[in-house]
Amino acid sequence: MFTSNRHVLRSPYPDQLKAILNIASATQSRDWLSHWSQIDMTGTPLWNLPGLAQQLGVAQISLKDESARSPLGSFKALGAPIALLRLIMRRWPDHQLTAKDLFEGRHRGLLGQFTVISATDGNHGKALAAAAQAVGCQCVIVIHANVNEERERAIAAYGAQIVRSAGNYDESVEEAARLATKNNWNVVSDTSYDGYEDIPRDVMQGYSTIAAEVVEQSGSTADRCAFTHVFVQGGVGGLAAGVVGYLWEFHQLKRPRFVVVEPKQADCLYQSAVAGQVTKATGSVDSLMAGLACGEASPLAWKILQAGADHFMTVRDTDATEAMRVAATGNHRDAPLLVGESGAAGLAGLMTLLQQSAWKMEAGLDAESRVLLISTEGATAPSVYAECVGETAESVLARQAAWLKRAA
């Protein structure tokens, strides 16, 4: 499914949205993250894929590869740690806490009885658990019935207490809120709800790091964006809002078109665009693209997306699998890339859109288009990845290393 956003603004970045997401706060978040040993802040690769661009009939395809961001394996390493630090600093405003000292564990005595909790499909919970372990606070992670044991073990490895709930992701969010109220714990969620906006906003500011790096790596200027189109994953909308907000503020009227992509059965953003207001998904929500299997959009993220996202679309799980395989295969001009299930959504969206002539025309895609994709994760569930691609992550990375050696 594909729809254009009838509420999109073609204006300078509005002040009311700047109060939610802005470049100044994103820059501060980026500086704070540089003090965490789990993050590589030299910048993740921005791959140029000329072979695929020629095959699909566009001028350029670039892919931002977040699989290399951290041992955590995904872009979520940028959001949860910033939200945790800002939460702690708000809780103890007179202690002159710094990101460097917190990440180095110098306030463990202060934080030993402080507990954070969140629901997750995997990556957000793992990032929060790792950040909590670094600063020295307690962490409880709620996972729902469809989260596989491989992802559960990866979270538990960072010292988090795991609570398994029935139902889907949205029901695990409700369970996390219930436990927080009962035990006086602190919810660190990437989705907002009534009366809960500060922490999701902080998470989105961390995600803006991706857009900031893309600007630098691509040679974009305020007056010239290196890309005509940006395809970005949906989910609750946090990543999409972080990318849209940053690039819109940076480029103003010269911003690219934004296409938000989500699973067909977890279409809360698509349905919100059709309805003109936050609306629940219409499908089962369960998806191979586990990080995007969300039934309800974040109202805070929606404020950015309703104004700034040009198009919304859905893809099938089989489309994501095909995109994973295309990325992994590579060719003599394109490196083989390790792109996980949720990370493949943008490429799946592009490939799907280009097969539909009416949608392609409506989105303004043609032979002159320069497309940015964001691969949000690598093989965060290695067995799932191998089953989808027919090859292990280690094998793909070995072929990538050989390709780079030949290209040098």
DSSP 8-state secondary structure symbol assigned to residue 14: P
Kindly tell me the sign of the dihedral angle through the C-alpha atoms of 250, 253, 254, 255: positive
In this structure, are residues 63 and 347 in contact, taking their beta carbons and an 8 Å threshold?
Answer: yes
Q: Identify the burial level of 68 via C-beta atoms within 10 angstroms of its C-beta, where 0-12 means exposed, 13-18 middle and 19 or more buried.
A: middle
Structural contact between residues 379 and 385, judged by C-beta atoms closer than 8 angstroms: yes
Q: What is the rounded end-to-end Cα distance, in angstroms, of the chain? A: 41
Among residues 65, 121, 170, 267, which one is catalytic? 121
Which letter does DSSP use for residue 311 in this model?
A: E
CA atoms of 395 and 390, how far apart (whole Å): 10
Selecting among 76, 126, 264, 303, the annotated active-site residue is 76
What distance lies between CA 367 and its chain's CA centroid? 28
- Residue type for 27, please? T
How deeply is 358 buried, as exposed, middle or buried, from its count of CB atoms within 10 A (0-12, 13-18, 19+)? exposed
Asked if residues 258 and 230 have their Cβ atoms less than 8 Å apart, the reply is: yes
Taken in order 304, 309, 313, 318, the sign of the CA dihedral is: negative
Do strands 46-48 and 60-65 pair parallel, antiparallel, or not at all (unpaired)? antiparallel
Query: Active site includes 121?
Result: yes
Strand-strand pairing, 370-375 and 229-233: parallel
Phi/psi at 151 (5° precision): -70, -35
Structural contact between residues 313 and 208, judged by C-beta atoms closer than 8 angstroms: no
Active site residue 31: no
Assess contact for 42 and 281: CB atoms under 8 A: no
Closest CA to 253 of 294, 213, 218, 222: 222
Beta carbons of 77 and 69 less than 8 angstroms apart: yes
The set of catalytic residues is 76, 121
